[in-house]
Structure 1
């Protein structure tokens, strides 16, 4: 048993003297963030006036994620060259302070909707830099051969949290309230910030290879490989956005089923993603570009049964398969960034990438709201699945034409 563990591709990651000390903090923080998926919306429902509850829930969800796009742009000149642990630690500190302020204001009966949304927005300002910092830390501490398994560890932690966190939040909200769950999330981010500080002491900022104008977006714009990867990722996530609108309408109107069936679909997807994340580390010997594009193609194919009106059992199984296929994408795409980008420029490039990608799913969801009406829910699902396959085909054709070096 011990030999099997030590020969696992994950062993160099979990046994690393610095990463091994960071991982428990990441698990705790991810669990807190998984709980906040429910708590943020539930507290918005509690604070919002009846006629406008839906609007305020949408605003709260947007405030908890979208400002990271602005943060990725606005803070580039101040944060470029910072080591990964420092960037990730600062994001955790800001999250802890802003979410903690929400809990304090609620306890003092001073939490208004405006203050709530403002604090959620503040908490997310450094999220793109925090994500960039985590993946930069991997590139700083591990050789390229271990990047994919390490990325997979981060993805698996996140997937685990999205499966366990929401039901745990439901229980805690029933026993206390949503603000208490947000306070717990703040505490987990504080633990993570301390973990980064103690486990990975930071040195002076590194000198980025380009000027601030070249950093981040400039580096991506002038590198065809990075630009192509960003376009592929944006299209991949954008085309999944309409599913958040079309799926519940399809289940309620086309299948005449209950919310329990919708929950079964999402649970199946999460379980598949958890399994797919665990398998990702064993793909290290696969070429990254073909694997990344293959994920796009296979994901689109796995979604086809939903749009083709397959029986519910088969559709749920195909959605679980889609989750397993989806899971490795972020790990392989991040590994491509880690291998292609000069180390000193990596935080800026990843922050720019994250600033763009955070917009993809929300924009796709907005598109879904416009097209579901004229197309119908099932046709929207089928169109998105077919478009995802087409995206993969185009990407494969471009890569084959350029014949890049194996990666």
Structure 2
């Protein structure tokens, strides 16, 4: 039987009016966010004298609040109307971007200002992220959730494609002044707030709010711990999020230290990574079912191998070209892992589970970003890529070994067309095991 027309196509979620508002405004806002990220990284390098550790520290400060606040953001997402919460968080983030832009434009900026504002932005984002992720399910319902998550990643990486390039051009045209990037980002939040206010609440697939009570955070943690499949996804998110997803540090250092180039080249390299991520998002949008665990493992290993190869590239253009498949592999893993978690949880617990997921995925950045920055500073920028890639390969291999317990595993590889497939048979019963016997 053919699938209904309104449930087919890579862009099927866009047929939902509320999601169209969300997607369009998200594209504008995320473009501004990527402009701010490029501007912030470049500003830190300007103020610190190209210090890789300082770049890692500001990234850590922006993501450190995730460790503390994201889980409580998940509790709030399950307890209160998500749309209203997003209006509040988006307003606060817009005001913080405006303050940073004014400080830079008035020549009153100092490095400690960037650190403080990065931490403040991270605090608001830590609450915003789990609410936003849980809100997607309310926008489209369970049947379109995988497609909506993939389209969100497409939008995110489309913005990453445009934002860094525009930021690099703006900074270059302003003779190194990063203020325009921050001011544009501040204005972009108004678009998201307007879209949220224009949505039709009666068309949302809202779940019944969870009543305020004791132990709700512990309940979410216990639920995840009781599910081996969720533990696997959380573990991969923690390890790769900590050590491998650090392109904001590694690409900036490669541009300045290895190739000796300016903001325009940095923006171009980030755009190359985004082109690959966008391609990975389009590929992911074709999926309609929950990914398999072995797919997560293969995606993690592929991302790690390509990251190692990036660090070994000898020229600017070879590095730029390889960033494309690397970005694609990273995005395929991220979307698959996110979808795997969202489609495997009780809707009443989705906010808390997604909060834990983002705590794992982003919470390790305060450790990983400075560490990768220090390794790059001490041994050379390429080692940031090599270290992160090696950790991803080891994590994927460990996960594969864990999945293979009591199972027959077969790997198929091909060159034309390129493919890598992992076949895992069901676990053998004691009677099927060598030397085993039946007790029935």
8 Å CA contact 1:304–1:385 kept in 2: the answer is: yes
Alignment of 1:5-404 (within 5 A): 9-43=9-43, 48=47, 59-73=57-71, 78-103=76-101, 114=112, 117-173=115-171, 174-175=173-174, 177-201=177-201, 206-207=209-210, 211-240=215-244, 257-259=259-261, 266-285=270-289, 287-306=291-310, 316-371=320-375, 381-382=385-386, 384-401=388-405
**Cα offsets for 1:101-157 (capped at 9, x unmatched):** 444566777766555543442232131332222321222233444222211111111
- Once the two structures are TM-superposed, the CA of residue 28 in structure 1 deviates from its matched residue by 0.9
Q: Cα offset for 1:316?
A: 4.7
Instruction: Identify the structure with the greater helix proportion.
Output: 1
**Greater C-alpha radius of gyration:** 2
Q: Do the aligned residues in 1 keep the contact of 2:52 with 2:374 (CA within 8 Å)?
A: no
Work out whether residues 63 and 124 of structure 1, in 8 Å CA contact, stay in contact via their aligned partners in 2.
yes
Distance 1:322 1:101, change over 3 A: closer
Q: Give me the whole-angstrom Cα distance separating, in 2, the residues matched to 1:262 and 1:180.
A: 17
SS in 1 for 2:216: coil
Q: Determine if contact 2:302/2:329 at 8 Å carries over to the other structure.
A: yes
Q: Distance in 1 between matches of 2:181 and 2:266?
A: 25
Aligned partners of 2:148, 2:269: CA distance in 1, in Å? 28
Question: Could you tell me how far 1:346 is from its partner in structure 2?
Answer: 1.0
Q: CA deviation at 1:372?
A: 5.4
> In 2, distance between residues paired with 1:152 and 1:96?
26
**Please, what TM-score do these two structures have when normalized by structure 2?**
0.74
Partner deviation per Cα, 1:317-336 (whole Å, 9 max, x = no partner): 44321211111222211211
In the alignment of these two chains, the number of paired residues is 398
1:205 deviation in Å?
A: 6.8
| Gapped regions of structure 2 (runs ≥ 5) | 408-423, 427-440
Q: Which moved more, 1:149-158 or 1:211-220?
A: 211-220
* Worse overlay, 244-253 or 228-237: 244-253
Shift of 1:95: 0.5
State the alpha-carbon separation in 2 of the partners of residues 73 and 160 from structure 1.
Answer: 28
* Structure 1 residue runs without a partner (length 5+): none
Once the two structures are superposed, residues 216-275 of structure 1 have per-residue CA deviations (whole angstroms, 9 ceiling, x without a partner) of 44433343322221111111233315777777777888xx74437877654432221121
In 2, the alpha carbon distance for the partners of 1:41 and 1:127 equals 18
